[in-house]
Structure 1
Amino acid sequence: SPPAPPAMQQVLDNLMGLPGSPGVADLDLIFLRGIMESPIVRSLAKAHERLEERKLEAVRGDNLTLVQEILRDIGRLARPDGQGAAAELARILREPHFQSLLETHDSVAAKSYDPPVSPGPEPPLASQPVPPDAVRMVGIRKAAGENLGVTFRVERGELVIARILHGGMVAQQGLLHVGDVIREVNGREVGSDPRALQDSLRHASGSVVLKILPSYPERHPPRQVFVKCHFDYDPSTDSLIPCKEAGLKFMAGDLLQIVNQDDPNWWQVRGTPGGVAWGGRSTFIPTWGSPQQQGALCGSLSGRRKKRMMYLTTKNAEFDRHELLIYEEVARMPPFRRKTLVLIGAQGVGRRSLKNKLIMSDQSRYGTTIPYTSRKPKESERDGQGYRFVSRGEMEADIKAGRYLEHGEYEGNLYGTRIDSIHAVVEAGKMCILDVNPQAVKVLRTAEFVPYVVFIEAPCPETLRAMNRAALESGVATKQLTEADAQRTVEESSRIQRGYGHYFDLSLTNDDLERTFGRLREAMDHLRVQPQWVPVTWVY
């Protein structure tokens, strides 16, 4: 006979010591031992042991965070020349394939599986003609004070369901639909007052039976839409929202999932992971921005037909004309390498120093363009070392043909950045770092350049002057910054933030160069290990 499993063998061993014990019949022990020693029972126990599920649990589920901590520790051990075991280990840990492996492990450990899409039940009698007076009885169980997540309106003297809040009780049960006519509640006619019906349903408890005239709407599979907000909104200050408690307060830069767009004026949304107010219950946002923006729009478009649309990169010219930035549709992407890093900021705020420090920290990963100029080279200058020298006629022709990202004139000579020089750095396998004027971001923010835009914000004037004095003492700077210069820099920084803030992926206040550089480098490392939200036009 097959050997007994360990647990079964332990029971048999215990049975051997039971004979003679008080209250135990020897005949019963012999009978029980005979059953357990039967080959059939042993085989069944062995099969059960084989078939029993053994759960595998991950040791930890935050390995991406652990790797970031290891990289920070390695950074203190790495040699300046980028050689040695520490630098090699850092390169391995930063490899995209290794990072993807860790991300997959963490997702499996956290059981972050998308639930299977359920088609849902078909509407009753959807394929059959419905008599105009056909009614249904719908039963709902609720506690007193519990909100059903539904609003009503008066239509032809009857109370009709106007809106169903996504994630609410009614939406989860799927028994009621927008357009259904409410005839009775618990056998009583509802009348024609929406507020009275709301109060009646809110205070009802236990079983609530509704007599309805169904609308049987056509069902469409929902499309997932995510947007990035470009303005601040507080429903408590909005006089146009039907229910302030149902509105969602958010800030510029927050990410929202739109779950219902049926209403032309109010979208139902939920916050996204890493965004705001993540939860099952949906809330409302206006389709046309804050109350102030709505007023500005009504004033500028009075007498004209309003056109509602999301902010798309490909249509930014239309929004630039109206200066009205609302929502931008975005998509969630797995970690990937951006083609360009764009540093935006006021003049003298430290963009060039940060660019040079980042390139010197890892020349195999970062690069930059060589500017073109129409001036004559000096005796000590060579083409391609500091500048690319071309004739003025050639440069003017290329500018006219749109081959330059930006250009300007200084002391009678043209200077500029050619677009193909950006592509050359990217094709060499490096991220191209650019410190450009804010206007250039409109050209760069496309799938062609896939930029990560970082705004270097100026600190207060006193800190600016203190940093300037330190730079003068170390020989890095040669010009002393006056109080007026520092104030102008701060004001210019504020103007850039107001006018181009919706383009920024990250804002850093440069009140300490080393600390700002550390935060910038950490952000670059996070891009390779964390999912990213990008304009949907980059994906489709």
Structure 2
Amino acid sequence: CKIAVTLGLSSMQQVLDNLSDLPNSSGAKDLDLIFLKGIIESPIVRSLAKAHERLEERKLEAVRNNNLELVREILVDISPFIEKDSTVAELTGILREPHFQSLLETHDSVASKSYETPPPSPGALMDSTFNNQPVPPDAVRMVGIRKTAGEHLGVTFRIENNELVIARILHGGMIDQQGLLHVGDIIKEVNGKEVGNDPKVLQEMLKNASGSVVLKILPSYQEPHPPRQVFVKCHFDYDPGNDNLIPCKEAGLKFSIGNILQIVNQDDLNWWQACHVEGGSAGLIPSQLLEEKRKAFVKRDIDVTTPSTTGALCGSMSGKKKKKMMYLTTRNAEFDRHELLIYEEVAKMPPFRRKTLVLIGAQGVGRRSLKNKLIMSDPSHYGTTIPFTSRKAKEEEKDGQMYAFVSRMEMETDVKAGRYLEHGEYEGNLYGTKIDSIYEVVESGKMCILDVNPQVLRNL
């Protein structure tokens, strides 16, 4: 008994159903029928049938690949009935929708397998654009955005070869979150209207637009670079509303002295994109270079001298004499004092518990007084060890307050055993800092402040 290779799962099931209905007069033996039924119900045979069906599965083919032309013909045919029938007017609006047109264009491209043709190089595309030559239809993209009136898109523009090009995309803004536009894209139209070459007019047009906004663009095909994590501490106040140099005041970021900002983009030499570490959207801030130039700029001092009595009709103008000074290495500290502080780069560190704080300095610089001031400023956070001594306690002294009193023999034994961080002898008595006392301060939940000799730091 053989089974045809072309037998599919549905046919196999039909054969099984017919086997039980075979009459006895067919001449088939019961043993043969059982054997045939076992073969058909075998998992291996069914798996082979499934694989065969998958390999023989016919691919779907598009009915036609010129639907866009067909829709245009339909629009021409129904145009006389637009004013007479509301249904025709509604259908016309749907067929003229940019999204529907793009869908048909994509379908026709896939159906005609035009996607197999490699796209033109960006250089050739940009050259043809700037030379006012016809742009390939497949190079134009339609981007749809939904927004409310007055909502900022988080994008700025510049003029490049008499075209409006996206200069920057603000991190965290609407355009950045959608990822539909990129730096370098050329804006051609907004809702079917040409944008011209004035960035301010385009900004106002986009700001006042509401609902669905359709942009016609020429892509730049530029790969974005991953941003580098940079955090800075600000050393000046900044309000974009008072800045006449910023390209877009609404895109600026206000900050104060001491604020920590995360720099998310430094591609522009004059304007960086940053956001507060506490959260919020990104905005433009002046770069280090721009702010240094702005703060270092000093207007020239002018003196108007009185006209001389010898007959000069107009007062002569002469600049003040400037004091010239050579740069000397010995005056280096004086020059450093006049260095401009704009931004200070900082690092984001995870919080961790600091067990000890060691004050290091020369003898007599005030380490002990500094330690006492720190402890008095926050006794619940800072603490210190009690020194051990072998001298006898005075009448007003109590053990464990200013000193911990032990015998000389006990102290010498602990010193030999390495239980002291440092020790010394004064007027025949031993003094020292015990390591266990440091652990006691740390285990109490406080930071232990030490003013020990720098040579013992290797033991900590």
Report 1 or 2 for greater relative contact order, CA contacts < 8 Å, sequence distance ≥ 6: 1
TM category, shorter: 0.3 to 0.5
Larger radius of gyration: 2
State the TM-score, normalizing by the size of structure 1. Answer: 0.37
State the TM-score, normalizing by the size of structure 2. Answer: 0.42
